[in-house]
Amino acid sequence: MTSARQSLLDLLRRKSVLYGDFTLASGRKSDFYCDARLTTLDPHGAIWLGETAWALIQEKSADLGVTPVAIGGLTMGADPVALAIAIASVRDCGPQAGPGLQSFSIRKQAKTHGRGKLVEGNFKAGDTVVVVDDTITTGGSTLEAIEKIHAEGGHVAFALVLVDRSEGGLQAIEATGVPVIAIFSRADIDAAVPSG
């Protein structure tokens, strides 16, 4: 495990992971809760997330033979994830190596004023993108983001998530033909947290 990935896991388990009795957004009950924004909005967490995810994106892009130009997902869980990765991509590429990834954010509903945009930021029809999220349970938010990108004329190369809660969401997304990278699974987190 790289030092950035290990540091990210340590921060995630310290700041974001709770065990107990929780009701999730899906209405399901769970003994595991991950408030990932406490990690993704932490400046150190953002740096480690960016480094870790950017390396995985480069590897997956090479494997699939794709060149994504932008990264984003459904607001607001995806927003800090996308920006951290975009910044890491630019820092790694440098001005001579290319533009890195741009970032965008997908609204839950299109604006009713101005240009009525559904996708905000650096995205246009025809772009090949990576869709991101902080956590997946059922995969609903990520699937919604993928549908909205397709509706706006974009192409989704693959998806990346910080934490896969291992409750079927990853498989639901991949069943649509979109590959998924999970930086951490529930098993990774459980193994890292001391029992008791």
Mean pLDDT in order along the chain per 10 residues (196 residues): 90 94 81 94 98 96 96 96 96 70 90 72 96 95 96 97 95 98 95 63
Instruction: Tell me what pLDDT residue 113 has.
Output: 62
Instruction: Tell me what pLDDT residue 1 has.
Output: 61
Instruction: Tell me what pLDDT residue 97 has.
Output: 56
Hey, what's the torsion of the CAs at 167, 173, 176, 179, to 10 degrees?
-120
Q: Which domain holds residue 166?
A: 3-192
Instruction: Tell me what pLDDT residue 29 has.
Output: 85
We report the CATH number of the domain holding residue 75 as 3.40.50.2020
Please give the tally of structural domains in the chain: 1
Instruction: Tell me what pLDDT residue 184 has.
Output: 97
In this prediction the pTM is: 0.91
d(CA 41, CA 84): 9
Tokens of 166: 């291992």
Q: What is the DSSP string of the chain?
A: --HHHHHHHHHHHHHTEEEEEEE-TTS-EEEEEE-THHHHTSHHHHHHHHHHHHHHHHHHHHHHT----EEEEETTTHHHHHHHHHHHHHHHHHHHH----EEEEE-SS--SSTT--SEEES--TT-EEEEEEEEESSSHHHHHHHHHHHHTT-EEEEEEEEEE-SSSHHHHHHTTT--EEEEEEHHHHHHHSPP-
Cβ distance 45 to 11 under 8 Å? yes
Instruction: Tell me what pLDDT residue 196 has.
Output: 44
Instruction: Tell me what pLDDT residue 100 has.
Output: 86
